[in-house]
Amino acid sequence: MGLLKRKDRAQKPRKVALCLGGGGARGFAHIGAIKAFEECGIKFDLCAGTSAGSLAGAFYCSGMSAEEMIAYSHEIDPKDLKAGMSSLMSLFPSDPLSIGEIFTKRMGNMHIEDMLCPFYCVAVDIVSGKEYIFDKGSVGEAISASCAVPLVFRPVVIGDRHLVDGGVLNNIPASVCRMFGADYVVTVDVNPTRGGGTKELGLLDVIKATFNIMSAHTSVEGLRMSDVIVAPMLGEFSAAKKDGYEKMIELGYNAAMEKAEQIKALFDPKL
């Protein structure tokens, strides 16, 4: 009986998750990675995303193809991505719902429970100070909350929760993939050069460096829990500007192609 049980376990299909990390406008590289996965016939069993990763993950789980994402990326208004950090100096931060509308303008008012692939979106409740995981409800609202960078965007208020960018606590949500049953996790990290400080003393420079350092700290555990990491080198691009988005897509594609065979092996129950 014991041998049969071991054999059954060995033949059980593996559940492999896609984890998409935060990184602002560098999230365009997620699209390139998804294009590579599609071309290689790699289909993930679930997906978790934080911040920019939540937007790309939502499109992926809705059934939108990578080519459709690329075509749509040309239409995205840079203002919706909050080019620059000028609102850090404003008493009236921007409305984060504009980011969620990037999804709803293309896909309509979809709900998470209606998506083709299980999708989990990470935000942080600043009332409780804890991570909040969207596994149901409005996709656009979930994306808006996950992308609501503190000081740049106002928190998204849902009931008694005040939700901000998931990267505050969990920038690489591999732990969420594990929580929802993943045996293996493939992470696309679009901000591998995070953590840089600054010698400047200006307010904006200090705040930017603070966010960089915080992002590095909140990514360590997620990277540790990942089995394969796709990490395109995007240091030359700004996380706050759309400039160079086509090159970012290309770099994401190339980085994912380099790891394609490793990823395919995760699905093979005989290995």
Amino acid residing at 199: K
Element at 266 (helix H, strand E):
helix 260-266
User: Active-site residue numbers?
Assistant: 51, 165
* Measured distance between the N- and C-terminal CA atoms of the chain, rounded to whole angstroms: 23
Distance CA(240)–CA(24), nearest Å, equals 6
* Count of other CB atoms within 10 angstroms of residue 88: 15
Q: Which 3-state string (H, E, C) describes 135-186?
A: CCCEHHHHHHHHCCCCCCECCEEECCEEEEEHHHCCCCCHHHHHHCCCCEEE
